[in-house]
Structure 1
């Protein structure tokens, strides 16, 4: 039976990847900080087929030996684990750079040690978008990379961490007997499986609850590319399973300004505390997923994504009247 390891298995994206793998008949290894932490990982054990085919391993990205144990016997690794920050990062080296960069190198070395055949590294659109030299009216494809020094000047440490880690991963594909593929997802939204709310879901929630805004009833009208977490999971598995996958892939469905996105939300779910005024922000976010689409990827309509996301929030009680806005929440 096929055996694959997913790093950071209890997280937002990784939880959907684990669910998909189990539904496809895989034996799944999952790395987590604490397999006994039911608040963070209990949802994984409740997935269909988890009892028979999911094994959780205690592992830290900065601990090479932990990863070697988790990867043993696996033919593939899907490296999803990476911290996603809020706006303020007091210590970027410790909070972002080391886990992403050193962590990815440890994962690659452990893959070589375990004789893993293929690894899919989940990078980010932030490793693509921050390039001031790219023409503003031209779609960004896989040849476009974030300018690391420019990102540092903006203190965009998440972008710095993901860009360096992805470059490092693809360099290993050239040097070592290991197939490495990377995927750069856009802003990931969609229903949650995990019990701790993630950063991107917090932002969508702030569109609907005014307690979550920095300035009451005001929102930056910036443009963002979006992708559904379920479609991203399908893309990750497609890149792993398809022998033709090679190099880097952008994974994005739609690009909308905040005002447009919120208008769509309000058309389906009126009555919430949507912002009434917007601060205009320049800049485009045009990403091309043609390479991934040509490999066979498909995605659901944006309307379905929005409806499923907000229904999920409602079912979890996150939008209940009187419910305080969560900076971090478990339920």
Structure 2
């Protein structure tokens, strides 16, 4: 562990990515205030309380994205705030009420609490690469970078509510922080792969598990996608928080590949798993990501093989997946 550092807040601390970020922050020596919906839910929070350093430097407090002033207690006195909390559920009836409003209003609520805190040094917001790539007017020969913004009109037309929510939430965050002189940095991860600390799988991990069990529905609609290790996303958040010169947006992606490339790699590494052999080729725009901005800070990404190996090992350990003896973890 590094030397003991300052106090930071992580919103939505029990989530898939947030849990890993809390783990990394504790290992770095930070005092962490994590916001959760129900601090008394021992079953849902047990994985956080078992983390190294949690007993001494982790405190969980109640907060709700849709309640005004809900984050005041958690954020007051913190030097840094990592806002990771955001709804990722698939809308069942009213996407505006279920995803868009909590994402945008929740982000502004957190930032209002940040504004009240004289100790605040920087806010790091977890955005998404979907705020960059949902557009139909880019040149596929030029990799997308942080200057690109997804088209709100296209997101609405295609009903890609997650991308729309993330785009509107990040834009609202920049507007609020620019108006109120708050130092904001945003991190834009691609599809996050890796070990899951919470026992209940989030939608992302569930989609990966379904793929490993032979289902292709969730991945079929993507066609081509960027991937990044969950540990890299957490480390990227900490890097841009600690690096004084960090500013603006940072794409966080190890690689971008087509579905068929991805399942070919996985099938070769795990031949006993009923991974789909091929996907129907969809007419999706070809794109790459330019991640030179985060790499310029010295960041190096783990390869896609490692992220899936770590993910599968975690799914096996938690009892979600079974492997044959012949499918021992291959060397990277």
Q: Contact (CA 8 Å) 2:107, 2:173: kept in 1 or not?
A: yes
SS in 2 for 1:174: helix
Residues 231-310 of structure 1: pairs in structure 2 closer than 5 A: 231-282=232-283, 283-310=285-312
Distance 1:14-1:148 versus aligned 2 partners, 3 A rule: same
Could you tell me the TM-score, scaled by structure 2's length?
A: 0.91
Distance 1:203-1:9 versus aligned 2 partners, 3 A rule: same
Ranges in structure 1 where 5+ consecutive residues have no aligned partner:
322-331
1:109 to 103, 109, 112: 112
Distance 1:158-1:220 versus aligned 2 partners, 3 A rule: closer
Q: Contact (CA 8 Å) 2:8, 2:79: kept in 1 or not?
A: yes
The CA deviation at 1:35 is: 1.0
Whole-angstrom distance in 2 between the partners of 1:60 and 1:111: 15
Distance 1:69-1:141 versus aligned 2 partners, 3 A rule: same
**What residue in structure 2 maps to residue 316 of structure 1?**
318
Q: Contact (CA 8 Å) 2:216, 2:279: kept in 1 or not?
A: no
The CA deviation at 1:213 is: 4.6
Q: Contact (CA 8 Å) 1:220, 1:278: kept in 2 or not?
A: no
Residues 1-331 of structure 1: pairs in structure 2 closer than 5 A: 1-86=5-90, 88-115=91-118, 116-210=120-214, 212-214=215-217, 219=220, 222-282=223-283, 283-320=285-322
Whole-angstrom distance in 1 between the partners of 2:199 and 2:319: 12
Ranges in structure 2 where 5+ consecutive residues have no aligned partner:
324-332
The CA deviation at 1:14 is: 0.3
Whole-angstrom distance in 2 between the partners of 1:177 and 1:137: 37
SS in 2 for 1:287: coil
SS in 1 for 2:69: helix
Q: Which runs of 4+ in 1 moved over 6 A?
A: none
Aligned residue pairs total 317
